[in-house]
């Protein structure tokens, strides 16, 4: 199962726990495959480095893990449909990868419900539907 994780899910799982942490544990265990585009990887890195300034070893370990284990997707088309244009990269990546879903706690994405046939799930919904 291919899944796009919004940056807020990734950083919440790394720094704060809860459902996002369960999602990252499942990813590390091979229960699904994370897909990301270059733009998503850039945002992951910038956000992790910003939020994790006091823990560079942890941040760099996560960045290495993501680069090693996430499937890189090069979207051939860039959609422009989210009310926050910065979130369009997640939609474009999911469409190109034909992902099973996007997981996001960002209302700009989650309020959409889906992009074409790909559902946009909140972390708790993803855990309940796919990890329980």
When pLDDT is averaged across residues 67-71 and rounded to a whole number, the result is 97
Q: What are the tens digits of pLDDT across the range 27-65?
A: 999 999 999 999 999 999 999 999 999 999 999 999 999
The pLDDT value given to residue 83: 96
The pLDDT value given to residue 69: 97
Q: Give the whole-angstrom CA distance, residue 95 versus residue 76.
A: 10
**Domains identified in the chain and CATH numbers:** 2-131 (3.40.50.1010)
The pLDDT value given to residue 7: 98
Q: Which two tokens stand for residue 87?
A: 């979130």
Q: Which of 65, 73, 92 is nearest to 81 (CA)?
A: 92
Q: What are the tens digits of pLDDT across the range 79-130?
A: 999 999 999 999 999 999 999 999 999 999 999 999 999 999 999 999 999 9
Three-state DSSP state, 91 = helix
The pLDDT value given to residue 2: 98
Q: Residues 66, 27: contact at Cβ < 8 Å?
A: no
Transcribe 11-72 into DSSP letters: HHHHHT-HHHHHHHHHHHTTSSEEEE-HHHHHHHHHHHHHHTTT-HHHHHHHHHHHHHHSEE
The pLDDT value given to residue 131: 96
Strands 114-115 and 118-121: antiparallel
Q: How many residues does the chain have?
A: 132
């Amino acid at each position: 199962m291919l899944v796009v994780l919004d940056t807020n899910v990734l950083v919440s799982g790394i720094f704060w726990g809860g459902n996002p942490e369960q999602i990252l544990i499942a990813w590390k265990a091979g229960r699904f495959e994370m897909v990301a585009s270059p733009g998503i990887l850039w945002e992951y890195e910038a956000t992790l480095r910003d939020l994790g300034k006091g823990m560079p070893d942890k941040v760099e370990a996560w960045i290495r893990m993501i680069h090693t284990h996430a499937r890189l997707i090069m979207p051939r088309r860039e959609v422009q449909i989210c009310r926050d244009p910065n979130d369009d990269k997640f939609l474009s990546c999911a469409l190109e990868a034909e992902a099973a879903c996007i997981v996001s706690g960002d209302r700009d994405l989650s309020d959409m419900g889906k992009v074409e046939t790909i559902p946009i799930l909140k972390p708790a919904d993803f855990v309940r539907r796919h990890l329980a």
